[in-house]
């Protein structure tokens, strides 16, 4: 085979492989519920070894859509949603880059929107026109658990049970909360 034709075939194979990897990453992955020893080993984050989803795609996400519009799956996590610590459920809507994940001692910068399960938006950095920045210790536990296992650039949809959210605190949204969170930076 001539050298030019072979180089073209190699480029085509690489492009096809990249497309397959992007499509596979976009489907999300189901993770097993960590055992007590797994939780201790990963400092409370989800287990790092994903298993493939069995019930189709976890969730859909359109980066060009209005980020304050409630997602179709706002009422409850789909069956294919990953399982995190203490009842937390999540879907990876866009993979991040790099290996570093924030720790409890870090400060992060994020874009996010939060809804109640009836689709009412109660908070969004998008409506303020700028990302939020805060230490991981200054947010609800469901956010801390989620962010500790994210990499920069990742977007997640997270279903946070009330016990990991505001726990019935007066003036705060009640029940399970749903957030789309984009980790922009670890500061």
Tokens 């947010």 map to which residue? 139
Work out the end-to-end distance of the chain between its first and last CA atoms, rounded to an integer number of angstroms.
51
Radius of gyration of the chain (CA): 18
Instruction: Report how far residue 157's alpha carbon sits from residue 73's, in angstroms, rounded to the nearest whole number.
Output: 10
Contact predicate 107/136, CB 8 Å: yes
Contact predicate 52/92, CB 8 Å: no
Considering the entire predicted model, what is its pTM?
Answer: 0.70
Give the architecture (CATH level 2) of 3-186.
Roll (3.10)
Domain locations in the chain as residue ranges: 3-186
Instruction: Report how far residue 51's alpha carbon sits from residue 81's, in angstroms, rounded to the nearest whole number.
Output: 11
Per-residue pLDDT of the chain (187 residues; tens, 9 = 90+): 455 555 445 554 444 444 333 333 333 333 333 333 333 333 444 433 333 333 445 667 788 899 999 999 999 999 999 999 999 999 999 999 988 999 999 999 999 999 999 999 999 999 999 999 999 999 999 999 999 999 999 999 999 999 999 999 999 999 999 999 999 999 9
């Amino acid at each position: 085979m001539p050298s030019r034709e072979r180089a073209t075939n190699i480029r085509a194979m690489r492009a096809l492989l990249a497309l397959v990897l992007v499509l596979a990453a976009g489907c999300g992955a189901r993770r097993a519920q960590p055992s007590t020893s797994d939780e201790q080993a990963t400092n409370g984050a989800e287990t790092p070894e994903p298993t493939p989803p069995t019930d189709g795609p976890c969730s859909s996400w359109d980066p060009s859509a209005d980020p304050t519009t409630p997602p179709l799956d706002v009422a409850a996590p789909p069956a294919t949603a990953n399982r995190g610590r203490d009842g937390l459920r999540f879907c990876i809507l866009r993979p991040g880059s790099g290996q570093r994940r924030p720790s409890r001692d870090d400060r992060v910068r994020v874009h996010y929107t939060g809804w109640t399960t009836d689709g009412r938006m109660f908070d969004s950095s998008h409506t303020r026109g700028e990302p939020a920045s805060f230490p991981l210790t200054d947010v609800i536990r469901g956010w801390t658990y989620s962010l500790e296992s994210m990499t920069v650039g990742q977007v997640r949809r997270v279903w946070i049970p009330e016990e990991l959210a505001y726990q019935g605190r007066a003036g705060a949204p009640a029940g399970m909360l749903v957030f789309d969170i984009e980790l922009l930076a670890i500061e």
